[in-house]
Amino acid sequence: MLVELSISDIVLIDRLTIRFDDGLSVLTGETGAGKSILLDSLSLALGARGDAALVRTGSDQGQVTAVFDVASTHPVRDLLLEADVDVDSGEPLMLRRVQKSDGRTRAFVNDQTVSASLLASLGAQLVEIHGQHDGRALVDPETHRQLLDAFGQLQSDCEHVRQCHENWRRAERALKAHQKAIDEAAQEADYLRASADELNALAPEPGEELSLAESRADMMKAEKVASDLADADETLSGPKSPIPEIAGLLRRLERKASEVPGLLEETNENLAKALDSLAEAQNLITRAIHESEFDGNALERTEERLFALRAAGRKFNVSVDDLAALAVEMQDQLAALDAGEAELAQLEAAAKDALDIYDRAAGNLSGARVEAARELEASVMVELPALKLEKAQFIVDITQDANQRSATGIDSVSFHVQTNPGTRAGPIMKVASGGELSRFLLALKVALADKGSTPTLVFDEIDTGVGGAVADAIGSRLSRLAEGVQVLSVTHAPQVAARAGQHFLIAKAGDNGGSVVTSVAKMDDQARLEELARMLSGAQITDEARAAAAQLLAG
């Protein structure tokens, strides 16, 4: 509930702090005293659009602070949590709005800067302000549905429908995604099959490219060595080999050695050693050729395999090492395509089952809403005669459209009224006049009791244009409402004011500087008696008015 309202430098208000209790509080005062300023100030703190004209003349800025005592389970706590505003669960909420004279505003919650939109969201959860020209709770048909659900205590049914709707939509998304995948796969089926067959025939393996490249390099080196060995063998063993010529030379010199003793022995020895070395080299080369036998076909096969893998990598735009995984992926896609029709049938059945479950839940909720609507109509109609609306009809109009499935069901709910017999019923905001609208609203709020209401309700002069028994009936119903929620009422009716637990007097007077200021004071019993007497008789208060005021207070 609203605990405290502090205002500074707003229009005619210099400095002002009002503390409120629970139950019914009324604010009265002569016309022009500043009652509308109080409501404008409260609206500013609740996130209403700012206006530079609100700043008191001569001030750079005005400020309004509204302090609320809010249960730890109230929805505003969730809003604050989502917005990362750190407020302890047991801490009161302090909504503050600063209005600059240049039109800019700043918003705070417990001295933490927030957006004006968040402040408005919080304010909408904390306070409803209603008057002859402010029927926000009755304008939006979405609000009508919520109010009807609250009246019928259908929250669990609504949550069940919401969950069924979510399950159905999830099943529909899965079905559509699978259908899309099948359609896309079907368009590429021929390409997939040809590509998969090609990769299966190629049978690539991870790491194969590196292994083949290394083998190719080794074989190319071996090929080069084999060529050099063949050249060496040709030199030593071929037709142009020097060995036969050197052997012949050695034989001739050996024959001559006996003719010239001591001259050729050393030469012959060296030539013999050279022949032995060449013969050994020849043997070693022959063995090396045998040991390094080079298979040119193996190199050719290796190169063909390596080049085929690299060509496939370029064709499918992946690395050679990823070809094996691509082959598996293509096989999976083909398998999914082959199994897709069976799975599609399962998903279609699941989506149909989810839709059937939703339709049953939405149908049950719709039936419950119709029953709640009749009960709400009866509850509101009970209140209308005393509010001088005895010929009016209150109608909860419900239309069902099974093709308009939503998380809230299949119903559109709208509050309609017929103000006089023979006239056409229509939406309450279009048919009811200002005074009628406020009384319809009051009757609706009484019927709802504390269901679907914010913790604080503010009624702005909803008793305008009525008096006597009707004003007393309004006061009675405001008092009943105040048993469940906090009610603040700006009123001109003494019958309403007399039922309040707190009575504030709004007055206008000059300050020390000669400026006009608005003040608000909580009245004691005697002051309250005088104010009620003034409201009954006007400026000249008579003893008869005081007696009538005393009778009103006595109940």
What pLDDT does residue 326 have? 86
Listed range (60-64, 320-324, 340-344, 484-488) with the worst mean pLDDT: 340-344
In this structure, are residues 462 and 130 in contact, taking their beta carbons and an 8 Å threshold? yes
Angle (nearest 5°) at CA 498 between 496 and 504? 90
Closest among 118, 123, 121 to 68, alpha carbons compared = 123
Listed range (303-312, 382-391, 478-487) with the worst mean pLDDT: 303-312
Inform me whether the pLDDT recorded for 514 exceeds 60: no
Report the percent of the chain where pLDDT is more than 70: 93
Q: How many CB atoms lie within 10 A of CB 363?
A: 15
In this structure, are residues 410 and 364 in contact, taking their beta carbons and an 8 Å threshold? no
Band the pLDDT of 512: cuts 50, 70, 90. Answer: low
251 vs 493, residue with greater confidence:
493
Give the residues across from 55 on adjacent strands: 10
In this structure, are residues 152 and 142 in contact, taking their beta carbons and an 8 Å threshold? no
Instruction: Write out pLDDT tens, residues 337-379.
Output: 777 778 888 999 999 999 999 999 999 999 999 999 999 999 9
240 vs 529, residue with greater confidence:
529
Average pLDDT, the chain: 86
What pLDDT does residue 431 have? 81
Report the percent of the chain where pLDDT is more than 90: 41
Listed range (30-39, 335-344, 405-414, 527-536) with the worst mean pLDDT: 335-344
Mean pLDDT value across residues 457-471: 82
Q: Output the furthest CA–CA distance in the chain (Å, rounded).
A: 181
Listed range (287-296, 407-416, 487-496) with the worst mean pLDDT: 287-296
Using CA atoms of 68, 71, 73, 78 in order, give the dihedral in degrees to the nearest 10.
20
C-alpha distances (whole Å) from 492 to each of 28, 151, 423 are 6, 31, 31
C-alpha distances (whole Å) from 87 to each of 69, 80, 83, 94, 363 are 13, 8, 11, 10, 41
Structure-block tokens of residue 493: 């009716």
C-alpha distances (whole Å) from 22 to each of 244, 393, 500 are 132, 33, 11
Band the pLDDT of 233: cuts 50, 70, 90. Answer: low
Mean pLDDT value across residues 495-507: 93
Q: How many CB atoms lie within 10 A of CB 425?
A: 15
What pLDDT does residue 292 have? 62
Gap between the Cα atoms of 508 and 517, Å rounded: 6
What pLDDT does residue 261 have? 80
Gap between the Cα atoms of 369 and 366, Å rounded: 5
Gap between the Cα atoms of 90 and 70, Å rounded: 8
What pLDDT does residue 291 have? 59
> At CB < 8 A and 24+ separation, what contacts does 69-78 make?
69/1, 69/3, 70/126, 70/455, 74/125, 74/455, 75/125, 76/122, 76/125, 76/126
What pLDDT does residue 253 have? 78
What pLDDT does residue 511 have? 61
- Pairing relation of β-strands 486-490 and 13-19? unpaired
Gap between the Cα atoms of 18 and 555, Å rounded: 26
Residue the block writes with tokens 């005081």? 546
Inform me whether the pLDDT recorded for 309 exceeds 80: yes
What pLDDT does residue 53 have? 93
Ramachandran sector of residue 116 (left: φ over 0; alpha: ψ -120 to 50; beta: rest): alpha
Gap between the Cα atoms of 280 and 275, Å rounded: 9
What pLDDT does residue 174 have? 94
